[in-house]
Chain A
Amino acid sequence: MISLEKIATLIDGWLHQHFNDVITLLIECVLVGVGAIALFALLGLGLVWMERKVAALMQIRMGPNRVGPKGIFQTSADTLKLIMKEGLTPDGADKLLFNLAPVLVIIVAMLILAPIAFAKNFQIWDINIGVLYVSAVSSMSVIGILMAGWSSGNKYALLGAMRSGAQIVSYELSAGISVLTIVVLTGSLQISEIVQSQQTGWWIFKGHIPAIIAFVIFIIAATAETNRAPFDLAEAESELTAGFHTEYSGMKFALFFLAEYINIFIVCAIGATLFLGGWMPLHIGNVQAFNHAMDYIPSSIWFLGKTLFLIFVIMWFRWTFPRLRVDQLLNLEWKYLLPISLVNLLVMTVIAILGWHL
């Protein structure tokens, strides 16, 4: 059976045969970079198409259906259009920051890709503080948004950026704490170990109620962190026209757009890794036949399936709920999510100490 792990080992082996260590590392870096960018492009196109289809069906429409079968090339055509468009920079804008902001946002999104385990033993960088790294880097994307909003010289953009700043900074907390509940269970920050610890069952199943609560809070916080409806206050279409990217056009706008979807993918991948066992197949107790059948499905499919499911849930939120107001958004965080997740963490620690989770 071909798996991503084997391909990676093969390439690695072949390179080691032909080159020395330094050159191998360099070539591997380039390959990973190219791979990451290709994944980005594919994800962006795929997720946008998926979002449009999900939205369309919920809104009793058909969605894209003109370019290619079921309209799957619609997003490629849109990208082409965006590339051809003129990238305007307004006169009143701070030119350097204005052009830097979308790049920064996309770089941040790219960085978080590093510790994610896409399949069994297939990871760009299995850093031993993986979870910490993810939460540290992901909070940097707010800088890009603030930069975009401030440098546009547009009041709508500024308001959107300020909202986004307040929002992401506060939702980092509950997202971090709900991640911490799982870290307490596993006793490790390393992504590969967290996945390994779920071999006997996913945390959402064997972590008792606190894990479920942590999962729900994580999903809510993840939605907020990615600026998705119902927390899309930074964009707030009906209030601030387009929020922080009001002044962006062409490819610069596309970068923001792409970053949004990459961020969704990443937070959902983290969620899948922490709560749904990453690439671990679904096992039910001692039903051997079922477990074997599940093992037969490649680990990358498991990972992607779980991530896509979470992405679908987030899209489902977006196309169902109205937007919160800015003060309600902060109320939700400080009055509900944060206290609940703190208590939840406490309960989880007790569970972990008592060893009920094993």
Chain B
Amino acid sequence: MTNEELKIKLTELNPAATFEEGGEWLNLFIDAADLLSFTKTIKENSELYFDYLFCLTCVDWKTHLTMVYHFSSTKHRHNIVVKVKLDRTNPEIETLSFLWRTAEFHEREVYELFGVKFLNHPDLRRLILTDDFEGWPLRKDFEDPINMIKL
């Protein structure tokens, strides 16, 4: 499906979604509460069939965090980007690890680098850093006077 077709179809599924123009792929913002049901639909809908979550990350916009999910379909070969805005002080979102197993590791990485708490995650522990590490390193306000050298 082309981006336009996808847009029509996705609007049907989730009227609350807002679209962002300009990118290579269709970008849509949805509400954090809708994420699980929405992604479940787009995974199981045979026309969309987004069965492949190929990138899961987070961006710190200083005022808020944005979770970015890149979905692709191995059957139809179309891609979308789903974004969810999160509160910066207490970011919480449903985990997708039951729909896409790859999300388990990616969410652990996002958790420890951005501090996003994934609800119902089967094993939300730190993956890279030590257990007693403080702070969320990939956030923009992270400071580490010892290990970060400003050039």
Direct contact of A and B (CB under 8 A): no
Q: Which residues of B contact A (CB under 8 A)?
A: none
Q: Which residues of A contact B (CB under 8 A)?
A: none
